[in-house]
Structure formats: structure tokens, C-alpha cells
Homo-oligomer: A and B are copies of this chain.
Amino acid sequence: MISLQVDPSVIASGVNYVWILVVSFLIFFMQPGFALLEAGQVRAKNVGNVLMKNMTDWALGVLVYFIVGAGVATIIGGLTSPGGFSAAAAFSYIGDSGSWIDWLFGAVFAMTAATIVSGAVAERMDFRAYVVFAGIMTGIIYPVVQGLTWSGGLLAGSGYLGAILGVGYLDFAGATVVHMCGGVAGLVAAKMVGPRKGRFDANGDSQPIPGHSMLLAVLGTLILAFGWYGFNVGTQATVLAVTESGGLEFMGAALGRVALVTTLGMGAGAVAAVIVSAQYQGKPDPLWMANGLLAGLVAVTGAVPHVTWWGGLILGALGGAIVLPAFRFTVDTLKIDDVCGVFAVHGVAGAVGTALIPVFAVGGFSATQLVMQVAGVGVIALWTIVASAVVLFATSAVFNLRVSEAEELEGLDIGEHGVSVYPEFVGESSPDRALGTPTATDGGSEVRTDGGVEAEHTSDSFDGGDSK
């Protein structure tokens, strides 16, 4: 035993960064969660396309967010706050290995926002158009939101609006910064791409198009919940804090609150959604329970350190309870074909849960804070709507936003990628059922029976290009 001559901040860094690395990995693991959640909710003929879009979000997104996105966030933070900014400083992380763990921690949040969009536009969006949009989402649209909030911009306590109101916008782990941004961008994209064929009948009434595997959707949900512990609890990134006197403080109560509120929020969201679904549909529905669990998580994501445990429980229940009505509103009133309900799950639950933080605040209600919360939700939603619409409009000048009608019927897996995901399994394809025109020769059936034969049409799983 020796007398210790150590900077306590070194110990704090060691503990805190082990934590940050592990939660970053957990948040990355939300990528397969989203992939499964979305894949399960589309027809078998479009599964490969969904997987491709989800992998592209991540793979392309990290490159763009490293070269562009993270710097843009800092610049926007400087532009919308009195401090100003330096472009060189904003991009200095690129050469600073000491900041790269923090970059990764930021990147996994950015990629979560991006990947939400693919669930809204599944089964008909052109792949090239999607790639462009995903790149701009991770390079500009999300980074601007990050800049306005977490990077000290407009809505932060240090930003122009925060300075006026005297309070900063509260969104702890990104209920609106990440989830609502993704959910609203998805809504806009789903609107601009247009509904899937058969989603609305001649009278404009919606017709169900069942996904091919509720099991995958539920599995994706539970993987997301696992990753969400990293997302929410990990955002309490300081486990050991260095005190003013140079000592260390364990942030156990703060960590405990975010862990508990996350848990109660997801439980209450799932229970509330299943009750609502049983009322609405007559029977409790597993997929609505899963969506309620997710909506409960979204609803508390911004609130976890700020609200009482029972406040978190109520917010989670609220998020879960409104997910089905919000989805029906999207479909039946807005007439938007948001395939996986990302606006209901990520958009509405994020907005409501974050706006209501002051109502359940540990420190008591503050009207000023409520004003800031509503303003913040509005600013983020407005930016996301406008930016998404402009980007998609511009993209549509280069590529069609959606695939051809023939390709949509045949399935995007064949049309966009030349593959069949389940060559031994796929039975009767559902589009014809949805359209009320069953035929024996639809695209989906051909995939099943001829997958291995019409080799010019369908490559095999690993071996594309074998045959000429």
C-alpha cells in the first residue's frame, strides 16, 4: 500500500468511459432491433430492401457523421447562441484521438434518428433516393437538431431562445432530438413517397397489409428495449463526478432515477397500449403491446432524470395509450401510409412526453419551462418537416422517390436488389389479397417457385453472378 498521488479525474475518466463505451455498444445494438422491427412489419418480398436500408443507414451514416455531421452540430450550436463559432474548432475532433470515444457516443444517437425513417417508407421507396436522404439526415438534418439543443444552440440555456426565457430546453436522451426528429422525418417522407398500392381503397379507406412476421417485430422491440437502457441510462454519462474540492462523488441517485423511470415507463407504456388495443379491437394485441412498450420508452426518454417515478410511470402510460389513436389518425385522417407507425411511436410519444416534463418535474412545476418545452418541440418539428420536405423535393428531381408499380407488385427485393430473402418459404404473397385480385402469377409466387431457376432474375444468397 502506498499513499496515492493520483488526479481523481483520471479515476473518474476510467470509470465513466468504460460506462460510455459499453452503453455506446448497446445503443449500436438498437440497429438490428430496428431492422427486425421493420422487417417483421413488411411483406416477405420487401424484407431484403428493409435490411439493406437499415445497414446503409449505419454504414454510410457513420462515415458522413464523422466527416460532416458532428462538425455541423457544433457549428449550428455556435451560430444560434451568443458565443459564435470557429469552423476549424468545430471539426477539430477529426484529428483528436482523445475525443473519439465521445464522437462514437454521439454517432450512435445520430444513427438511431436516421434509421427510424426507413420504417415509414418501407415497401415502395426507391433505394437510391433513400440513400441520398439517409446521407443528408446524418450529415445535416439531425446534426442541426443536435446543434440547436445538446451542442448549446438556440434552445439550450446558452442559446438565443434559452437566454430570453432563462431556461434551457429539457430533452435528456433525445425523445425529440433523436426520436421525434426521426419520426417526423419519416412522416414527411411517407407522405411525399405516397402510400403503398392497395393501402387505401377506391373510397380512400385504409386496408390492412399484414407484415410477414410479428415474431421478428416483437424480437426487434425487445432488442430495442435492451439497447434503450444504454440510450437512457447511459446518457447519465457521469458515474463519478469530480467535485469542486477535487474529490469524487458517486452519481448513484441520478443513475437510479433514469434506470427506474426507464423501466416503469416501458412497463406502463406496454400495459396501457394493450388495454387500449383490447378496447379498440376487442382483443389484446401483441404488436400493439410492443409498440406501446416502445412508445412508453420514447415518452420518458427526455424526462428520465427530471421527473418523479410516478410521473415517469404516467408519461410512459400516456405514450403507450396514445400510440394506437395516433396511428389511426395518421392513416385515417392524414391519409399517410406510415408502415411501421414511426410517427405515432417516435414522433407523438416523444413530443408529448417531452412537453409534459415540467408537469411531473422533481423540482416542481415551472410555467416558463413548459413554454420552453413546447417551443422546443415546435422548433425541432418545424425544422425537421421543412428540411425533410426540401431534401426529398430536391432528390425527386434526380431520382424517382418511389419504385415503379410493377416493381412494387413484384417486391423490392427482386426489383432493387435481385434477391429473394426466403427462397424456400414464401407462399402466397399478400398484395393480391390486399388488392382483392388474387392471381397465380404474381411476382411473389414466382420468387418462391422459380427462385433457383430463373437465375438471371434472382441471385442466390451468397453466390450472385454464378450464372450468366
Q: How far is the CA of A467 from the CA of B199 in the complex (A)?
A: 12
Chain copies in complex:
3
Q: Contact at A14–B59, with CB atoms within 8 Å? A: no
Shortest distance from the beta carbon of A1 to any chain B beta carbon, whole Å: 5
Q: Is A178 an interface residue (CB 8 A)?
A: no
Q: Is A442 an interface residue (CB 8 A)?
A: no
| One of A38-46, A143-151, A184-192 at the interface | A38-46
Chain B positions within 8 Å of A240 at CB level: 10-11, 14
Chain B's closest residue to A9 (CB) is: B250
Q: Contact at A462–B327, with CB atoms within 8 Å? A: yes
Q: How far is the CA of A250 from the CA of B178 in the complex (A)?
A: 30
Instruction: Name the prevailing secondary structure of the A interface residues.
Output: helix
Q: Contact at B7–A260, with CB atoms within 8 Å? A: no
Chain B's closest residue to A242 (CB) is: B6
Number of interface residues of A (CB under 8 A): 160
Question: Which of B5, B255, B287 is A247 in contact with, Cβ under 8 Å?
Answer: B5
Q: Contact at B17–A253, with CB atoms within 8 Å? A: no
Which chain A residues (414-465) contact chain B, with CB distance < 8 Å? Answer: 416-430, 433-434, 448-449, 451-453, 455, 458-465
Q: Using A55-B270, A226-B28, A255-B101 as known contacts, say yes or no to A427 and B425 having CB atoms under 8 A apart.
A: yes
25 contacts between A and B (CB under 8 A): A7-B247, A11-B11, A19-B21, A25-B230, A29-B226, A32-B226, A35-B218, A48-B286, A51-B218, A59-B289, A62-B263, A66-B263, A97-B254, A205-B467, A206-B466, A208-B467, A209-B460, A212-B423, A213-B422, A284-B416, A285-B464, A286-B419, A287-B419, A331-B463, A430-B452
